[in-house]
């Protein structure tokens, strides 16, 4: 549909006014009443109307202007500091590239592809290698002096490696970690949280005389004074001078010989988006050759040799309608935001996490607020902050529960995450369903409906009761015939002999999940040893620090009666030899965190940190991802769900995607499923050395419960 057809002359004037207001907010303090997608769509509609009605263009229209013409400054730029034109699909990018080559009269020599960082563009002027002045982009011709903020910007050196006169240009942003820390610091000083990282970066750069410090990060992507270098070479030169560039990130700039290669790199960076430590709102494609750049030239707003391939927004603005309070299987009372439906990256979002009551208070949320909602990839959507300036006075405070929303008992609010005083007893059904799940006790036939029936009939109050159910009791239940009864009892009997790690995982101990249960079981070898361990001993397990160890010890004390009853029913009583972890794989592991070695300490994967991605084939085709990770542990390795510098081996099946690209970038060994099956042949299901009972370990591909 033609965008111009969407606007009448009156709509056009309103759209221009809205776009100017949004641009002013976006480019000055990073806040805006519109999400990125809505702002882009508005600008496209305005531009389409103006193309169809060139005699009606309003003088304050944001089209053709840097930063929408909304901002300026009093420090002139030595060379105009332009924006980028946008494309929104692979087809539009191909059309843009074809137009550039027509303008040049020749094919583009090569392309450079890099992430489009979601921050504020700045110019850093150096004299004899020393930082002299830091300036915002402003309207492209002049910007604002923000030199007072330079010492808080990481990656922006005060002194370069060489005494040169040069002007670095790049983006200042808040990484995700810096953003969270900034809001903690702000709320501790009574200030309103930043709405989003861009808002935080803009506000921080302009702020003076704050009683607290907020650190930011600089990424250089161009320079004035090194115009004879191709773009890829320029980035190397900037890094050599000591400036921070995106070359050290998974989304590093890449020189591509063809547009097809550039398109593939765009897809790779887009796939990495949720894993990056900073926000991006697109991918930039540039003609790499300095000759191509000079011959293509620039317009009043943007260079003709570079374009931004925009990605769907991860942040959207919507309204907070209500807050629901849900009780989890361990009694945790979790708030959930009910939102006015909003589409984020192709998914309609109606609910989002609010973490805990303290988080609600810290963000200053109210019912009826317009709020920023964030979603990246498969990450659960979360509410970030309200648009306080848009409040009408009709907003209402969020009411926190005074009693457990499920059972009405008292609430333990001594920790940030509130909990029903009855703990997991408040959610017996949820606890039973979780314990019976495939990755825990794997009791086939015990789903949600059956669990409700058993709990409501009084036959089951916790998982220990499952192992004392009598045939006559089950036959007395509705819709329980002889066959279904016998099948369920047989499944329960099989579950009695599950290995220690699965039984421990079935308990649902806070601070643990399948991975941590596997590590704990491998470390101690028996339930008795686990129960006897104090916090100091537990903290020695890979991934358990002092704080989590204290929580686990308290949980086990609370679970003591249940554990006694399970032991009396011979559940979880198997004993295996405890296994000490071996040395970390890779010299850099010690600097990055816990040792990355297999819990088993022996086997074909001893010392390996293994990631599995893509669809498995051959002997591994029938294995779930959890079973694959369990296989890795049996073979002496350590399973992980994400590729990092600590990864030593990637098993890449069909459609491996971004994890394979990242492994290739880091120089990590990559094998096919068939090659991996040969490597661990003695540990495959059915092999004498690799039975589940002997292994006593289990892994998971996702985050811990």
Which helix (H) or strand (E) segment holds residue 347: the answer is: strand 347-353
Q: Which two three-digit tokens encode residue 122? A: 């700045």
Q: Which residue has the tokens 């944001």?
A: 62
- Gap between the Cα atoms of 562 and 569, Å rounded: 11
Work out the angle at residue 251's Cα, subtended by the Cα atoms of residues 246 and 252, and round it to the nearest 5 degrees. Answer: 45
3-state secondary structure 168-200: EEEEEECCHHHHHHHHHHHHHCCCCCCCCHHHH
* CB distance 199 to 28 below 8 Å: no
- Here the tokens at position 599 are 């819990």
Q: Which two tokens stand for residue 601?
A: 């300490």
DSSP labels, 503-556 = HHHHTT-TT--HHHHHHHHHHH-SHHHHHH--HHHHTTSTT--HHHHHHHHHHH
Q: Give strand pairing partners of 286.
A: 112, 306
Within 10 angstroms of residue 662's Cβ, the number of other Cβ atoms is 23
- Dist CA 30 CA 200 (whole Å): 7
DSSP letter assigned to residue 401: P
Q: Are 297 and 103 in contact (CB under 8 A)?
A: no
Strands of 278-332 (E only): list them.
280-287, 306-310, 315-327
- Torsion angle of alpha carbons 485, 487, 493, 496, nearest 10°? -110
- Calpha distance 675→196 (Å, rounded): 45
* β-bridge pairing 609-613 and 649-652: parallel
Q: Which of 65, 116, 286, 310 is catalytic?
A: 116
Handedness of CA 349, 350, 351, 357 (dihedral sign): positive
> Is 659 assigned a catalytic role?
no
Q: Six-digit token pair at 63?
A: 């089209």
Q: Are 401 and 324 in contact (CB under 8 A)?
A: no
Note whether 652 and 628 are within 8 A (CB). no
Buried b (16+ CB within 10 A) or exposed e, 288-298: bbbebbebbee
Residue 658 CB coordination number (10 Å): 20
Q: Cα(641)–Cα(372) distance, rounded to whole angstroms?
A: 29
What are the beta bridge partners of residue 124? 134, 168
**Which of 355, 350, 363 has its CA nearest to residue 333?**
355
- Residues taking part in catalysis: 116
């Amino acid at each position: 549909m033609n965008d111009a057809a969407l606007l009448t002359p009156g709509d056009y004037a309103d759209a221009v006014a809205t776009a100017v207001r949004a641009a002013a907010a976006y480019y000055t303090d990073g806040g805006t009443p519109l999400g990125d997608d809505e702002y882009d769509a508005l600008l496209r509609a305005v531009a389409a109307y103006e193309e169809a009605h060139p005699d009606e263009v309003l003088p304050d229209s944001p089209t053709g202007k840097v930063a929408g013409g909304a901002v300026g400054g009093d420090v002139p730029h030595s060379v105009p500091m332009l924006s980028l034109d946008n494309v929104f699909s692979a087809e539009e990018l191909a059309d843009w590239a074809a137009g550039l080559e027509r303008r040049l009269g020749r094919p583009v020599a090569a392309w450079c592809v890099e992430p489009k960082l979601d921050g504020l563009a700045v110019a850093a002027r150096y004299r004899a290698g020393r930082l002299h002045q830091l300036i915002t982009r402003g309207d492209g011709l002049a910007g604002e002096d923000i030199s007072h903020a330079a010492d808080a910007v990481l990656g922006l050196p005060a002194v370069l490696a060489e005494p040169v006169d040069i002007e670095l240009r790049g983006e200042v942003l808040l990484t995700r970690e810096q953003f969270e820390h900034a809001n903690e610091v702000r709320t501790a000083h009574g200030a309103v949280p930043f709405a989003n990282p861009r808002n935080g970066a803009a506000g921080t750069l302009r702020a003076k005389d704050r009683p607290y410090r907020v650190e930011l990060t600089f990424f250089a992507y161009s320079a004035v004074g090194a115009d004879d270098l191709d773009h890829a070479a320029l980035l190397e030169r900037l890094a050599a001078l000591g400036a921070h560039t995106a070359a050290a990130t998974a989304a590093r700039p890449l020189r591509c010989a063809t547009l097809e290669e550039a398109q593939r790199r765009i897809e790779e960076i887009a796939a990495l988006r949720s894993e990056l430590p900073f926000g991006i709102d697109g991918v930039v494609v540039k003609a790499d050759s300095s000759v191509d750049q000079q011959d293509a030239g620039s317009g009043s707003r943007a260079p003709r040799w570079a374009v931004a391939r925009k990605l769907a927004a991860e942040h959207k603005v919507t309204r907070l309608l209500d807050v629901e309070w849900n009780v989890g299987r361990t009694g945790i009372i979790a708030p959930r935001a009910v939102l006015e439906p909003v589409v984020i990256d192709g998914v309609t979002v109606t609910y989002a996490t609010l973490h805990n009551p303290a988080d609600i208070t810290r963000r200053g949320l109210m019912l009826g607020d317009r709020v920023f909602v964030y979603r990246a990839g498969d990450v659960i959507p979360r509410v970030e902050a309200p648009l306080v300036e848009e409040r009408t006075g009709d907003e209402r405070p969020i009411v926190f529960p005074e009693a457990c929303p499920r059972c009405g008992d008292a609430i333990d609010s001594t920790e940030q995450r509130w909990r029903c005083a009855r703990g997991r007893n408040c959610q017996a059904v949820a606890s039973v369903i979780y314990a019976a799940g495939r990755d825990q006790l794997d009791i086939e036939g015990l789903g949600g409906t059956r669990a409700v029936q058993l709990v409501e009939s009084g036959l089951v109050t916790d998982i220990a009761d499952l192992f004392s159910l009598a045939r006559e009791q089950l036959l007395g239940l509705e819709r329980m015939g002889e066959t279904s009864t016998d099948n369920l009892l047989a499944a329960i009997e099989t579950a009695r002999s599950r290995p220690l790690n699965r039984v421990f995982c079935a308990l649902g101990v806070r601070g643990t999940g399948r991975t941590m249960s596997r590590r704990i079981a491998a470390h101690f070898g028996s339930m008795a040893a686990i129960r006897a361990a104090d916090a100091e001993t537990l903290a020695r397990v890979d991934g358990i620090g002092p704080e989590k160890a204290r929580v686990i010890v308290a949980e086990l004390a609370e679970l003591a009666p249940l554990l006694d009853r399970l032991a009396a029913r011979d559940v979880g009583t198997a004993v295996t030899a405890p296994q000490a972890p071996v040395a970390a794989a890779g010299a850099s592991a010690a600097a990055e965190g816990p040792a990355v070695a297999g819990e088993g300490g022996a086997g074909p994967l001893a010392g390996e940190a293994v990631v599995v991605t893509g669809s498995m084939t051959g002997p591994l085709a029938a294995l779930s991802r959890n079973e694959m990770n369990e296989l890795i542990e049996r073979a002496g390795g350590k399973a992980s769900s994400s590729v990092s510098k600590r990864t030593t081996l990637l098993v890449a099946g069909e459609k491996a995607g971004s994890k394979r690209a990242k492994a290739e970038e880091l120089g990590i060994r990559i094998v096919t499923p068939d090659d991996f099956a040969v490597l661990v042949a003695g540990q495959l299901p059915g092999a004498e050395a690799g039975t589940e009972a002997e292994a006593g370990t289990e892994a998971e591909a996702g985050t811990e419960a």
